[in-house]
Structure 1
């Protein structure tokens, strides 16, 4: 496995590039001139922000509060270029009680248990390539600031349909809750 490790990073942010409906989501960690950029799905960014907030509420409610995170909130744009080092397939968030920090890991392939269940006839993109992973260790306040950035990076998307919750295209969409009629 070839890990990219940032303990601690100077900067760790999530963000999106592109117009609503065609955005690509990235996670960037950097330290000095070294930077790692990985691409994620929108839902992965949302779940990452929610999971971090829940973890901090449970493990470090004071150190990881929004008030403690305020000085660390990073609203600057992502650093360019936006070439990703790998596409994230699996994320994990954990609390390391020995150092009282959050550990975030992103991997380019499923777990070994998941690989057992894959179709042997399909040529998966990671076959024959070395595994890639990103490991970021964050203090509670910085982790909360990162979680807040995850949430704010989702805000610039398309509005949701009030009936089904799916994103609305500029010309509307075929709503399953309206029995397929265009709204």
Structure 2
């Protein structure tokens, strides 16, 4: 069976965003090209790792002689996207594995997010080929802007306890360090 590929070669928009309140947020990658919108759910940690990975790829390319791809060290002015996710947010799938690549022929970062497949018991099923995948190709400036926005979204969660550094709920927090539990 052939994989379902949601491909975006030059998306109008590619962002990380959330739905829900801090502590109960669902994270999404959302790609948009014209009226076509694809949203896939992922974990907060996956979002943070993706932002770090995008910047790491670009930072490595900047070290090449003459920076031949004109990699910026930060998102260029005018590329920041602070708008909310496009409504309605309809989850295509939940992300399992992600891959990151560089395409020198187009000077684009390539992000591939594959569907997480679980069996009846909730155990992850390993697939030889992903059944469904989101593939987004971003030019370098848009990739820097994506990484910056993603970091901002990740840090907008619950405040951290200054003692144990665990997230604090709005209705209270039992600190294991302050209570002598650690």
Q: Fold match, TM over 0.5?
A: yes
Q: Which runs of 4+ in 1 moved over 6 A?
A: 125-128
Partner of 2:93: 86
Q: Which residue of 2 aligns with 1:107?
A: 114
SS in 2 for 1:49: helix
Q: Residues 74-127 of structure 1: CA distance to partner in whole angstroms, max 9, x if unpaired?
A: 1111101112100011111111223221000100137xxxxxxx9x98465879
Asked if the contact 1:103–1:137 (Cα under 8 Å) also holds between the matched residues in 2, the reply is yes
SS of 2:134's equivalent in the other structure is strand
Tell me how far apart the structure 2 counterparts of residues 13 and 6 of structure 1 sit (CA, whole Å).
13
CA distance 1:89–1:81, change in 2 (3 Å): same
Q: What 5-or-longer segments of structure 2 have no aligned partner?
A: none
Q: Per the alignment, in what secondary structure is the counterpart of residue 85 of structure 1? A: strand
Partner of 2:40: 38
Pairing 1:138-157 to 2, within 5 Å after superposition: 138-157=138-157
Once residues 126 and 88 of structure 2 are traced to their aligned partners in structure 1, the CA distance between those partners, rounded to angstroms, is: 27
> Does 1:64 find its partner at 2:72?
yes
Which position in structure 2 is the counterpart of 1:166? 166
Aligned to 1:74: 81
Gapped regions of structure 1 (runs ≥ 5) = 111-117
Structure 2 counterpart of 1:17: 19
Q: Judging changes above 3 Å, is the alpha-carbon distance between structure 1 residues 21 and 121 closer, same or farther for their aligned structure 2 residues?
A: closer
Aligned-residue offset at 1:156: 2.1
Q: Which residue of 2 aligns with 1:113?
A: none
Alignment size in residue pairs:
171
Cα displacement (A) at 1:165? 1.9
2:136 is matched with 136
Provide the C-alpha distance between the structure 1 equivalents of 2:164 and 2:37, rounded to a whole number of angstroms: 39
TM-score by length of structure 2 reads 0.83
Q: Structure 1-normalised TM-score?
A: 0.82
* RMSD of aligned Cα (Å): 2.6
Match of 1:115? none
